[in-house]
Amino acid sequence: MGIKERKERHKEDLRQRILDAAKVLFLKEGYEATSIRKIASAIEFSPTTIYLYYKDKNDIIYTLQKEGFKVLRTKFSALTNVDDPFERLKAMGRTYLQFSIENREFYELMFIMKEPLEYLQKVCGIEAEQWDDGVEAFNFLVYTIAECQRAGYFKGHDTKMFSLLVWSTVHGLSTLNMHGHITHVVEKQLIELKDGAQILDAAFDSYIKFLEQIKG
């Protein structure tokens, strides 16, 4: 029935429609629950049709990953008009944390899950495009840190290494939060504080206060 009705509808952009269906499923239910059969049923096609447009499931997931990196890069490039480098650094951190909260599944895809990474290595080697957005984001961080150093912050530290450490801290906060460890630590009264949403902000504020202190 469904198969018959959609036949008179447009059948172009099928590749995109597959991706859209996959995205909806993925963002709502996560990687595991996003099965080829569910995607197929969402677009009213047979499961095997999907293999005419994507090599395999990881190919789809990898394409979504690219999208995630693009979104993050876009959010970052909106911060280029923040002149003060330290303020920009703060804004970048908040943007990153916010992204990890609002786009949790994307974040896992981009930085945690091994599936898209494995696909990437097998198919593309090391030269892959989606990472360009990631690389650009990292370079933006390095550039900002360098500017901060010119303004008197973080003196005597290797710029790129320091950037990596800043990324680590924010990434660590994101993932500890995403996986419930921060909430847990609060619930066990190891840290006395308000609710889970606020503690992340408080932790980041502490971090900024901490960074601010590293003047020459």
Distant-in-sequence, close-in-space partners of 73: CB < 8 Å, separation ≥ 6? 133, 134, 136, 137
Spatial separation of the C-alpha atoms in residues 211 and 216, rounded to whole Å: 11
Stretch that binds a second copy, among 8-16, 34-42, 70-78, 135-143 (CB under 8 A): 135-143
Instruction: Single out the residue of 139, 150, 64, 141 nearest to residue 105, CA to CA.
Output: 64
| Owner of token pair 């320091």 | 162
Distances (CA, A) of 72 to 17, 66, 99, 128, 201: 22, 10, 7, 17, 19
Q: How far is the CB of 87 from a second copy (least distance, A)?
A: 20
| Owner of token pair 């450490």 | 165
Binding residues for DNA, rule CB under 7 A, total 19
Give the CB-side neighbour count of residue 143, counting CA atoms within 13 A: 14
Spell out, one character per residue from 65 to 104, where the chain touches a second copy: x when CB under 8 A holds, - when not: ----------------------------------------
Q: How far is the CB of 24 from DNA (least distance, A)?
A: 15
Q: Is 170 in the site for a second copy (CB under 8 A)?
A: yes
Q: How far is the CB of 83 from DNA (least distance, A)?
A: 47
Q: Is 24 in the site for DNA (CB under 7 A)?
A: no
Applying the rule CB under 7 A, the residues between 28 and 57 that interact with DNA are 34-38, 45-49, 51-52, 56-57
Q: Is 27 in the site for DNA (CB under 7 A)?
A: no
Q: Which residues bind DNA (CB under 7 A)?
A: 3, 7, 11, 14, 34-38, 45-49, 51-52, 56-58
